[in-house]
Every structure is written in structure tokens, then in C-alpha cells.
Structure 1
Amino acid sequence: MLLQNIDVVKINYVKRSSAVQRTLRNSFNNSVRREFAKNIAEHPDIINRLDAPQRKILRAGQIPNGFSVHHKLPLDDNGTNDFSNLILIRNKIEHSIFTTTQNAISRGLAPGDRKTVLWPVPKGVIYP
């Protein structure tokens, strides 16, 4: 599947340690995802794409069925939990495509390993 509305950026991928990844992921799971959902609930792109019940779910800090929150640059590299690095993404098929691609690019890297790669980054606060 050819994805639209993405940037392909050249990055110096540096594999993080499992401990750092775990700390960032725990923060994301415990508070960041919820706050991001609340933050984007009234964004114009969200209002144009999601119905009122889905936006109500976001305002409550939850994620509507069929969606996930995705890190544009992954936590196992230099990605952060900043809202600018997060996007609400449809689970099928887009999230699967990004995750599969990102796993293929980083496969075999050990903590501290570096690799210059072309990385797909979805645009906006909601994708597609």
C-alpha cells in the first residue's frame, strides 16, 4: 500500500537501551497518551474527521475504537513523548504499515548502534 501525506526524512537512528525505552513507554502509557488525547480533541482536523462521540472519548483522555496513538519517531531511537511526535492513527491498515516498516528498518540493531535511514513520518495530528 502506498501511503499519502507522509514525509520521508533522513535520520541518524541510534538504538536506545531497553531501560530508557521502558521509562519513556511507561510515561506514555501512564499519562502522556491520555493528555495527548485530551489535547487534540478540539483540533480542527479531529473535528473534521471524527464524529461527536469519538471526540467525547478523546476529551475523556481515551482513544476511540479503531485508533492508536503512534510515535512518529520511535521511542527506541530518539523519539520523545512530546505531542509534536505523536499522532492519532487508524489501526488498520496504516498503523500496521508504519510499525512493520519501522521494525524492518531497526531490526538487528543493538543499544548504541547507529544507522542512517530514511524514515516515514505521518503528517498532522490524525492519520490518514
Structure 2
Amino acid sequence: MDTDTVSPFVKGVEILPDGSVARTGTNYSGKFQEAHDASKASIQSRISNLESGGVKGTGKVGTKDSRPDFVGKLKGEEVKLPNVKTEKVTFNKRNPNDTAQLRKDFNKIRKDLMKSMADNPEKIKELKKAGISDNDIEDMMEYGLVPDGWQVHHKIPLDQGGTNNVENLVLIKNHPYHKVITNEQNSLTKGMKPGDSKIVDFPIPKGEIYPPNKE
């Protein structure tokens, strides 16, 4: 047998406590040494990334969104929406007839969404965490009703190019949060006519329930 092809794990190799490899015989493969050194360097790099607060395997440091929370107005008073940021979006004023049809379709979509949320054990936990009662959750499940004091909100308004897709919907507490966002929408879109387009900074709650925690 050609000794150059003998696996380094058979003989001629010693694994040291620090993970490095020492050659002790003549059958050691140089290619194995290179592969091992590269693997060890990669592992050490990932450990370093994690210790420095980086994202595993990327070297990128995760940072919290430092943008200020949105502050709107309700009855002349400023109201902050915790953890709601503004996003730059393009509003496209829709034809009123098209908007009316989408609102009609939304009635069934909203009912189905409420039933779906109340039929999901993980979502039930989130609903309760947000302060929604067991009775309201039962009504969601049985009748598809929106909990008392809450609204299903379009993150991008229907009359401004939004859709009825679930990703564009959020169950939001009506007072003061939904009212504040509605006021901002009315202010930003005042005077727009069908076909008009406008780039705006608009508050968009993340997730499916806002606020996620009971106040």
C-alpha cells in the first residue's frame, strides 16, 4: 500500500488540547493540515462574532431600530405610539368604485381572519397578552367578530393603494392608536384626487396585534 494515501486518523497524527494537529509520523497529509486550519479559523471567527454581539456566521452586529417612535395627534393632543415607526411609502389615490369593492370584500376577509387567529393556540396567547378577554376570543372563533374596542386596520390604506392581504392587516386597539393613525392618514391625503400619487412618511405598526402587551 502507498503510505502517502493512509488516512491521517490511522497513525502519524496527534490532536493537541487546543484543537491543533501535530505531525508524529511520515504518513501525515498536508492537505488535511490545510483543511483543519481553515476549519479551525472559521470556528474561531464565528465565536468572535458572537462574543462581540454579531449575528452568527455573518460578522454583522445587530442593532435596535433607533428611529423615534411616531407621535400623532388626537383632539389637539400629542400621542406617542410606542415602537411604531414611519415608513416612506407611495400613496396612490384609488378610484372610489374600486375602493368600495375592496371594502366589500374586506368584510368576509376580516371575519375569516378573526376566526383564524382565535383557532391558533399561539395567537390565542398573543391575544390574551394584549388584554383581549376570553369572551372576546370565543366570539372571534364562533362569529368572526372583532374584539370590543379594537379594529382591523389596513397598514397601507385601501383608498391609497393598499390591499386586503393578511400581511397588510393588523388588529389594533381603537383608542387612541387607530384613531391617531387615521387622523394622520386624513391629514396626509387631504385634497388628493383619484390618480394622484404622493410619497409620504406613514406610521405602520409591525406584526399582527398592536399594542402587543396589555397597558
TM-score by length of 1: 0.92
Is the 1:40–1:125 Cα contact (8 Å) retained in structure 2?
A: no
Q: Who wins on radius of gyration, i.e. which is larger?
A: 2
The match for 1:7 is 85
The match for 1:53 is 135
Is the 1:9–1:121 Cα contact (8 Å) retained in structure 2?
A: yes
The match for 2:155 is 72
Residue 4 (structure 1) shift: 1.1
The match for 1:33 is 110
Structure with the bigger RCO (C-alpha within 8 Å, sep 6+) is 1
Is the 1:67–1:90 Cα contact (8 Å) retained in structure 2?
A: yes
Q: Partners of 2:197 and 2:90 in 1: how far apart? A: 7
* 1:120 maps to 2:203: yes
Residue 117 of structure 1 aligns to a residue whose secondary structure is strand
**Percent sequence identity over matched residues?**
37
Residue 99 (structure 1) shift: 0.6
Whichever residue aligns with residue 116 of structure 2, its letter is N
Residue 91 (structure 1) shift: 1.4
Q: Partners of 1:121 and 1:78 in 2: how far apart? A: 15
Whichever residue aligns with residue 35 of structure 1, its letter is D
Number of residue pairs matched by the alignment: 127
| Structure 1 stretches lacking a partner, 5+ long | none
Q: Partners of 2:96 and 2:146 in 1: how far apart? A: 26
Q: Which deviations, in whole Å up to 9, do the C-alpha atoms of 1:55-102 show, x marking residues without a partner?
A: 112112111111111111100112111111111111111111011111
Q: Partners of 2:167 and 2:181 in 1: how far apart? A: 17
Residue 5 (structure 1) shift: 2.2
